[in-house]
Amino acid sequence: MTSYTDSLRGYATEILARDSFRCRYCGLDGTVPFSNWLALSQDHLLPPGHRCRDDKKFIVASCQFCNTAANRYFQQAATRGENFDNKTPEELVALRLPRVLETRNAYLRYWEENVRPKRPAT
């Protein structure tokens, strides 16, 4: 059996399978199509240095966009005085979800205004 060292076929496979290959933030289904599976990643729910950061129950399936959508999340959470101790993984996802959705919505507005093909006037 081949041993893989990348995320999708290697170290994140257990996390992704546990979460049914679905992003815990936006729900992207990595089982169909293939391009969705390629977009999957894993996301740590706890900040660097936290004693439980690498505990698999505190790592979730995430698409690459949601994983990076709030890339300064932990820094901003510290300035907001948010504490991650004694929270379940579900509570931690719920805590981060509004920031991820805020970023997704901002990107959606940008895409609609600047990227999406415009319909010709009739």
CA distances from 103 to 60, 65, 95, 99 (A): 19, 10, 14, 6
Locate 57 and state its tokens. Answer: 């129950």
pLDDT digits (tens, 9 = 90+) for 16-55: 999 999 999 999 999 999 999 999 999 999 999 999 999 9
Mean pLDDT for 58-70 is 94
Domain boundaries, the chain: 7-114
Extract long-range pairs of 79-87: CB within 8 Å, 24+ residues apart: 84/45, 84/46, 84/47, 84/50
pLDDT tens by residue, 68-119: 997 889 999 989 998 999 999 999 999 999 999 999 999 999 999 999 988 8
